[in-house]
Structure 1
Amino acid sequence: MPDNDSDLLMQVARTLRRCWAAAYAPMGLTPHQARALRVTGEQDGLRLSALADALRISPRSATEVVDALEKADLVARQPDPTDRRAILVAVTARGRRTLATLAAARTKDADDFFGRLTDHERAALRDILGKLAR
Protein backbone atom coordinates (compact mmCIF):
# COMPACT_ATOMS: atom_id res chain seq x y z
CA MET A 1 0.00 0.00 0.00
CA PRO A 2 1.36 3.47 -0.83
CA ASP A 3 2.88 5.51 1.97
CA ASN A 4 1.19 8.83 1.29
CA ASP A 5 -1.72 10.54 -0.44
CA SER A 6 0.18 11.48 -3.59
CA ASP A 7 1.45 7.91 -4.07
CA LEU A 8 -2.07 6.58 -3.59
CA LEU A 9 -3.48 9.05 -6.11
CA MET A 10 -0.80 8.09 -8.65
CA GLN A 11 -1.55 4.40 -8.12
CA VAL A 12 -5.23 5.03 -8.85
CA ALA A 13 -4.33 7.05 -11.97
CA ARG A 14 -1.99 4.30 -13.21
CA THR A 15 -4.67 1.67 -12.64
CA LEU A 16 -7.17 3.66 -14.71
CA ARG A 17 -4.58 4.18 -17.46
CA ARG A 18 -3.94 0.43 -17.61
CA CYS A 19 -7.68 -0.20 -17.95
CA TRP A 20 -7.94 2.33 -20.76
CA ALA A 21 -4.80 1.02 -22.48
CA ALA A 22 -6.38 -2.44 -22.55
CA ALA A 23 -9.58 -0.96 -24.02
CA TYR A 24 -7.65 0.97 -26.70
CA ALA A 25 -5.39 -1.91 -27.76
CA PRO A 26 -8.03 -3.71 -29.88
CA MET A 27 -8.45 -0.44 -31.80
CA GLY A 28 -4.72 -0.34 -32.45
CA LEU A 29 -4.25 2.78 -30.32
CA THR A 30 -1.93 3.64 -27.49
CA PRO A 31 -3.24 5.83 -24.65
CA HIS A 32 -1.16 8.70 -26.05
CA GLN A 33 -2.65 8.33 -29.52
CA ALA A 34 -6.16 8.08 -28.06
CA ARG A 35 -5.61 11.30 -26.12
CA ALA A 36 -4.30 13.06 -29.23
CA LEU A 37 -7.36 11.89 -31.15
CA ARG A 38 -9.66 13.17 -28.38
CA VAL A 39 -7.93 16.57 -28.31
CA THR A 40 -8.08 16.82 -32.10
CA GLY A 41 -11.74 15.83 -32.06
CA GLU A 42 -12.57 18.69 -29.70
CA GLN A 43 -11.53 21.15 -32.42
CA ASP A 44 -12.66 21.74 -35.97
CA GLY A 45 -9.06 21.26 -37.06
CA LEU A 46 -6.00 22.42 -35.17
CA ARG A 47 -2.37 23.08 -35.93
CA LEU A 48 0.29 20.61 -34.89
CA SER A 49 1.78 23.21 -32.56
CA ALA A 50 -1.56 23.58 -30.77
CA LEU A 51 -1.84 19.82 -30.45
CA ALA A 52 1.70 19.60 -29.07
CA ASP A 53 0.87 22.33 -26.54
CA ALA A 54 -2.35 20.60 -25.48
CA LEU A 55 -0.54 17.29 -25.04
CA ARG A 56 2.49 18.95 -23.43
CA ILE A 57 4.86 17.27 -25.88
CA SER A 58 7.38 18.52 -28.42
CA PRO A 59 6.18 19.43 -31.93
CA ARG A 60 8.34 16.57 -33.27
CA SER A 61 6.54 14.09 -31.01
CA ALA A 62 3.17 15.52 -32.06
CA THR A 63 4.16 14.96 -35.69
CA GLU A 64 4.92 11.31 -34.94
CA VAL A 65 1.58 10.84 -33.18
CA VAL A 66 -0.31 12.50 -36.03
CA ASP A 67 1.60 10.40 -38.58
CA ALA A 68 0.39 7.23 -36.84
CA LEU A 69 -3.20 8.51 -36.59
CA GLU A 70 -3.13 9.59 -40.24
CA LYS A 71 -1.81 6.18 -41.31
CA ALA A 72 -4.80 4.62 -39.52
CA ASP A 73 -7.14 7.04 -41.35
CA LEU A 74 -8.27 8.59 -38.06
CA VAL A 75 -7.05 12.11 -38.87
CA ALA A 76 -6.12 14.01 -42.01
CA ARG A 77 -3.90 16.98 -42.65
CA GLN A 78 -5.50 19.84 -44.58
CA PRO A 79 -4.59 23.40 -45.47
CA ASP A 80 -5.50 26.09 -42.95
CA PRO A 81 -8.08 28.32 -44.68
CA THR A 82 -6.79 31.35 -42.75
CA ASP A 83 -3.07 30.81 -43.50
CA ARG A 84 -1.94 29.01 -46.66
CA ARG A 85 1.41 28.20 -45.09
CA ALA A 86 -0.14 26.31 -42.18
CA ILE A 87 -1.58 22.81 -41.98
CA LEU A 88 -4.47 21.73 -39.78
CA VAL A 89 -5.12 18.27 -38.37
CA ALA A 90 -8.77 17.21 -38.49
CA VAL A 91 -10.57 14.03 -37.46
CA THR A 92 -11.86 11.86 -40.32
CA ALA A 93 -15.22 10.08 -40.40
CA ARG A 94 -13.48 6.90 -39.25
CA GLY A 95 -11.81 8.93 -36.50
CA ARG A 96 -15.23 10.19 -35.32
CA ARG A 97 -16.52 6.63 -35.10
CA THR A 98 -13.38 5.63 -33.20
CA LEU A 99 -13.85 8.56 -30.83
CA ALA A 100 -17.37 7.35 -30.05
CA THR A 101 -16.00 3.86 -29.33
CA LEU A 102 -13.24 5.33 -27.16
CA ALA A 103 -15.71 7.41 -25.18
CA ALA A 104 -17.94 4.40 -24.58
CA ALA A 105 -14.95 2.30 -23.45
CA ARG A 106 -13.71 5.01 -21.09
CA THR A 107 -17.18 5.49 -19.62
CA LYS A 108 -17.64 1.75 -19.09
CA ASP A 109 -14.22 1.33 -17.52
CA ALA A 110 -14.74 4.35 -15.26
CA ASP A 111 -18.20 3.10 -14.25
CA ASP A 112 -16.77 -0.33 -13.45
CA PHE A 113 -13.80 1.15 -11.59
CA PHE A 114 -15.74 3.70 -9.54
CA GLY A 115 -18.73 1.37 -9.17
CA ARG A 116 -17.15 0.07 -5.97
CA LEU A 117 -18.00 3.41 -4.37
CA THR A 118 -21.40 4.50 -3.12
CA ASP A 119 -23.08 7.49 -4.73
CA HIS A 120 -22.14 9.53 -1.66
CA GLU A 121 -18.49 8.46 -1.88
CA ARG A 122 -18.37 9.26 -5.62
CA ALA A 123 -19.80 12.73 -5.01
CA ALA A 124 -17.28 13.34 -2.23
CA LEU A 125 -14.43 12.13 -4.47
CA ARG A 126 -15.56 14.48 -7.29
CA ASP A 127 -15.61 17.37 -4.83
CA ILE A 128 -12.16 16.54 -3.49
CA LEU A 129 -10.59 16.01 -6.90
CA GLY A 130 -12.20 19.18 -8.21
CA LYS A 131 -10.76 21.14 -5.30
CA LEU A 132 -7.29 19.66 -5.89
CA ALA A 133 -7.48 20.34 -9.63
CA ARG A 134 -8.19 24.05 -9.13
Structure 2
Amino acid sequence: MHRAQKHHMAQLDLAFTPAQSRLLRVVAHYGDAPPRMADLAARLEVVPRAVTTLVDALEEQGAVRRVPDPANRRVVRVELTGTGRATLDALRSARRSAAEDILAPLSAEQRDTLGGLLAALVDREGPHR
Protein backbone atom coordinates (compact mmCIF):
# COMPACT_ATOMS: atom_id res chain seq x y z
CA MET A 1 0.00 0.00 0.00
CA HIS A 2 2.81 2.37 0.94
CA ARG A 3 4.60 1.74 -2.36
CA ALA A 4 1.43 2.29 -4.41
CA GLN A 5 0.60 5.46 -2.48
CA LYS A 6 4.14 6.76 -2.98
CA HIS A 7 3.77 6.16 -6.73
CA HIS A 8 0.53 8.16 -6.86
CA MET A 9 2.02 10.95 -4.73
CA ALA A 10 4.98 11.20 -7.09
CA GLN A 11 2.57 11.70 -9.98
CA LEU A 12 0.98 14.57 -8.03
CA ASP A 13 4.44 16.02 -7.28
CA LEU A 14 3.88 15.82 -3.51
CA ALA A 15 7.04 15.61 -1.44
CA PHE A 16 5.72 14.66 1.99
CA THR A 17 7.06 11.94 4.21
CA PRO A 18 4.65 9.41 5.73
CA ALA A 19 5.18 11.08 9.12
CA GLN A 20 4.34 14.51 7.70
CA SER A 21 1.25 13.10 6.00
CA ARG A 22 0.14 11.55 9.27
CA LEU A 23 0.65 14.82 11.13
CA LEU A 24 -1.51 16.63 8.57
CA ARG A 25 -4.28 14.05 9.04
CA VAL A 26 -4.08 14.38 12.82
CA VAL A 27 -4.23 18.19 12.70
CA ALA A 28 -7.25 17.97 10.38
CA HIS A 29 -8.92 15.57 12.81
CA TYR A 30 -9.13 18.36 15.38
CA GLY A 31 -11.26 20.47 13.02
CA ASP A 32 -11.82 24.07 14.11
CA ALA A 33 -9.96 23.63 17.43
CA PRO A 34 -6.26 23.54 16.47
CA PRO A 35 -4.30 21.12 18.64
CA ARG A 36 -1.43 22.04 20.93
CA MET A 37 1.99 20.69 20.06
CA ALA A 38 1.72 18.45 23.16
CA ASP A 39 -1.62 17.08 21.88
CA LEU A 40 0.04 16.12 18.61
CA ALA A 41 2.95 14.42 20.36
CA ALA A 42 0.55 12.39 22.51
CA ARG A 43 -1.68 11.47 19.57
CA LEU A 44 1.29 10.44 17.40
CA GLU A 45 2.96 8.69 20.33
CA VAL A 46 6.25 10.52 19.78
CA VAL A 47 8.40 12.87 21.83
CA PRO A 48 7.53 16.58 21.55
CA ARG A 49 10.81 17.31 19.74
CA ALA A 50 9.74 15.01 16.89
CA VAL A 51 6.54 17.02 16.49
CA THR A 52 8.54 20.24 16.42
CA THR A 53 10.67 18.87 13.58
CA LEU A 54 7.58 17.76 11.62
CA VAL A 55 5.78 21.07 12.16
CA ASP A 56 8.92 23.01 11.15
CA ALA A 57 9.06 21.13 7.83
CA LEU A 58 5.33 21.47 7.16
CA GLU A 59 5.38 25.15 8.10
CA GLU A 60 8.26 25.71 5.69
CA GLN A 61 6.11 24.14 2.95
CA GLY A 62 3.17 26.37 3.89
CA ALA A 63 0.94 23.45 4.95
CA VAL A 64 0.55 24.42 8.63
CA ARG A 65 1.11 27.46 10.79
CA ARG A 66 1.74 27.95 14.48
CA VAL A 67 -0.76 30.18 16.25
CA PRO A 68 -0.87 31.37 19.85
CA ASP A 69 -3.62 29.98 22.05
CA PRO A 70 -6.15 32.78 22.65
CA ALA A 71 -6.51 31.82 26.33
CA ASN A 72 -2.79 31.28 27.06
CA ARG A 73 -0.24 32.93 24.81
CA ARG A 74 2.50 30.60 26.08
CA VAL A 75 0.70 27.68 24.41
CA VAL A 76 1.33 27.11 20.70
CA ARG A 77 -1.34 25.53 18.53
CA VAL A 78 -0.97 24.15 15.01
CA GLU A 79 -3.54 24.75 12.29
CA LEU A 80 -3.83 23.78 8.65
CA THR A 81 -3.46 26.44 6.01
CA GLY A 82 -5.32 26.48 2.71
CA THR A 83 -2.27 24.82 1.19
CA GLY A 84 -2.37 22.20 3.93
CA ARG A 85 -6.04 21.42 3.25
CA ALA A 86 -5.36 21.11 -0.49
CA THR A 87 -2.36 18.89 0.22
CA LEU A 88 -4.43 16.72 2.52
CA ASP A 89 -7.07 16.33 -0.20
CA ALA A 90 -4.37 15.33 -2.69
CA LEU A 91 -2.89 12.85 -0.21
CA ARG A 92 -6.32 11.31 0.37
CA SER A 93 -6.81 11.02 -3.36
CA ALA A 94 -3.42 9.29 -3.72
CA ARG A 95 -4.31 6.86 -0.90
CA ARG A 96 -7.68 6.09 -2.53
CA SER A 97 -6.06 5.52 -5.91
CA ALA A 98 -3.43 3.27 -4.34
CA ALA A 99 -6.12 1.23 -2.58
CA GLU A 100 -8.06 0.91 -5.84
CA ASP A 101 -4.91 -0.33 -7.61
CA ILE A 102 -4.23 -2.90 -4.91
CA LEU A 103 -7.81 -4.14 -4.73
CA ALA A 104 -8.43 -4.15 -8.50
CA PRO A 105 -7.71 -7.89 -8.94
CA LEU A 106 -10.33 -8.82 -6.31
CA SER A 107 -13.98 -9.46 -7.05
CA ALA A 108 -16.68 -7.58 -5.16
CA GLU A 109 -17.24 -10.66 -2.98
CA GLN A 110 -13.53 -10.93 -2.19
CA ARG A 111 -13.41 -7.23 -1.31
CA ASP A 112 -16.35 -7.68 1.07
CA THR A 113 -14.61 -10.64 2.70
CA LEU A 114 -11.36 -8.71 3.05
CA GLY A 115 -13.25 -5.72 4.49
CA GLY A 116 -14.89 -7.96 7.08
CA LEU A 117 -11.57 -9.51 8.05
CA LEU A 118 -9.87 -6.13 8.41
CA ALA A 119 -12.79 -4.76 10.42
CA ALA A 120 -12.53 -7.74 12.78
CA LEU A 121 -8.86 -6.97 13.33
CA VAL A 122 -9.48 -3.26 13.90
CA ASP A 123 -12.35 -3.96 16.31
CA ARG A 124 -10.00 -5.84 18.61
CA GLU A 125 -8.34 -3.94 21.42
CA GLY A 126 -5.89 -2.31 19.05
CA PRO A 127 -2.26 -2.82 18.11
CA HIS A 128 -0.92 -2.31 21.65
CA ARG A 129 -2.92 -5.03 23.42
Q: TM-score range by the shorter chain?
A: 0.7 to 0.9
Counterpart-to-counterpart distance in 1, 2:6 and 2:46: 19
Counterpart-to-counterpart distance in 2, 1:101 and 1:49: 27
* Shift of residue 120, structure 1, vs aligned partner: 1.1
Q: Secondary structure at the match of 2:46?
A: coil
* Shift of residue 88, structure 1, vs aligned partner: 0.5
| Contact 1:21 1:31 (8 Å CA) reproduced | no
TM-score normalised by L of structure 2: 0.85
Q: Does 1:30 align with 2:7?
A: no
Of the structure 1 ranges 72-81 and 23-32, higher mean CA displacement relative to structure 2 is found in 23-32
Counterpart-to-counterpart distance in 2, 1:123 and 1:63: 40
Counterpart-to-counterpart distance in 2, 1:118 and 1:32: 32
| CA distance 1:81–1:132, change in 2 (3 Å) | same
TM-score normalised by L of structure 1: 0.82
* Shift of residue 28, structure 1, vs aligned partner: 1.4
2:26 corresponds in structure 1 to: 39
Of the two structures, which has the highest relative contact order with CA contacts closer than 8 Å and spacing of 6 or more?
2
1:68 corresponds in structure 2 to: 57
1:48 corresponds in structure 2 to: 37
Residue type matched to 1:41 in 2?
A
Q: Secondary structure at the match of 1:83?
A: coil
Q: Does 1:94 align with 2:80?
A: no
1:131 corresponds in structure 2 to: 120
Higher strand share: 1
| CA distance 1:51–1:22, change in 2 (3 Å) | farther
Higher helix share: 1
Q: Secondary structure at the match of 1:46?
A: coil
2:111 corresponds, among 118, 122, 133, to 122
Where in structure 1 are there 5+ consecutive unaligned residues? 1-15
| Contact 2:8 2:97 (8 Å CA) reproduced | no
| CA distance 1:21–1:58, change in 2 (3 Å) | farther
* Shift of residue 81, structure 1, vs aligned partner: 1.9
